[in-house]
Amino acid sequence: MDKVRFALVGCGKVSKKHIVSIQRIDNAELVAVCDIDIEAAKRVGENEGVPYFDNPHEMVDKVDFDVFSILTPSGTHAEVMLELAPYGKHFVIEKPMALRLEDADAMLEACRKYGIRLFVVQQNRFNLPIMKLREAIDSGRFGKLVLGTVRVRWKRTQEYYDEKPWRGTWAMDGGVLTNQASHHIDMLMWMMGEVESVMAKTATQLVDIETEDTGVVILKFTNGALGIIEATTATRPKDLEGSISILGEHGSVEIGGFFMNELKVWNFEPELPEDRLVFEEYGRNPEEFAWNHTQYLKDVVKNILKNEGGLVDGLEGRRLVELLNAI
């Protein structure tokens, strides 16, 4: 195999990021799209010049490809993946991989049974400031980790939730912690390590939905550090931030922006010569649509072609689902 061929299942808003990213990668190709809404599939298929379907089984029968990209609502991820796994294709699945831990385990078992790979989309791990932060943690620059915090302060109105019937439901959405904040919670775990205990409070403050629109979580990690998760879609009158802060014995880092993509604070003692250039070289992502999605899918393509494990595989995705279920 010298090229990885992708077929999308789900032609909603996020599909554009996947399409643009696939088109930027030399050894990747978009070959088909599918959506239960045939008009949505037709619109995307005709725009991209690829076959379109409203049934993934028909798509498998008529098009040869290597990877299903599952871009459907969160609550359908497990059902769709388990239905399609017997075809022996690999999977790229948007976050979170599942809403229930037993579903995540069933998905991993299907991977073992059918000899396939599962990659969970956590594209923010490829943000330039995040990569530099991870490098600092791996090299021990923080010393003893003390406190890690993520803040998701976004605005989602009643109109937003009413636009799609699955939004704000337990079965399909999961709430602000599972849906909007899952990228940030994944990042906190990736930086701070395994979680020992968790305590949480949630509330539905400003919209009429089943799930919470606001939640706060206190974590204790196995290394002794503490963690705080603050997540809300009840920020008014506009979005504020999607950020992460890591405090340690020898340093402090804060990465802000909307998706942890803008370096705000980089303080270490002792200071290294490279620290003087960190804002210039790693301060923010390039101003390019879906840049981090592209970096993520490049990693997926490379690992499929080389038969290696990706940065965010099914086991990593399961860790996030386990914590979300504990919360």
pLDDT in tens, 267-321: 999 999 999 999 999 999 999 999 999 999 999 999 999 987 777 788 899 999 9
State the amino acid at position 301 in one-letter form: V
Same-domain check for residues 54 and 161: no
Q: Residue 62 has what pLDDT?
A: 98
| 104 and 138 together in one domain | no
Looking at the domain assignment, is residue 214 inside a domain? yes
Among all chains, which residue has been given the structure tokens 């705000």? 264
Range of the domain at 255: 128-284
CA-nearest of 147, 151, 152 to 252 is 147
Q: What is the pLDDT of residue 189?
A: 98
Within this chain, do residues 221 and 303 fall inside the same structural domain, yes or no? no
pLDDT of residue 19: 98
Question: Whole-model pTM?
Answer: 0.95
Q: Total domain count for the chain?
A: 2
Q: Could you tell me if 262 and 298 lie in one domain?
A: no
Residue that has been written with the tokens 């088909």 in this structure = 32
**Residue 211 φ then ψ, to 5°:** -90, 180
* Residues 186/95, Cβ–Cβ less than 8 Å: yes
CB 16 within 8 A of CB 26: no
3-state secondary structure labels for all residues of the chain:
CCCEEEEEECCCCCHHHHHHHHHHCCCEEEEEEECCCHHHHHHHHHHHCCCEECCHHHHHHHCCCCEEEECCCHHHHHHHHHHHHHHCCEEEECCCCCCCHHHHHHHHHHHHHHCCCEEECCHHHHCHHHHHHHHHHHCCCCCCEEEEEEEEECECCHHHHHHCCCCCCCCCCCCCCCCCCHHHHHHHHHHHCCEEEEEEEEECCCCCCCCCCEEEEEEEECCCCEEEEEEECECCCCCCEEEEEEEECCEEEEEECCCCCEEEEEEECCCCHHHHHHHHHHCECCCCCCHHHHHHHHHHHHHHHHCCCCCCEHHHHHHHHHHHHHC
Asked whether residue 322 is domain-assigned, the answer is no
In a domain, residue 325? The reply is no
Residues 220 and 234 occupy one common structural domain: yes
For residues 116 and 142, membership in a common domain is answered with no
| Count of CB atoms situated within 10 Å of the CB of 165 | 10
- Give pLDDT < 70 ranges for the chain: none
Same domain, 38 and 168: no
pLDDT of residue 79: 98
- Judge whether 75 lies within some domain: yes
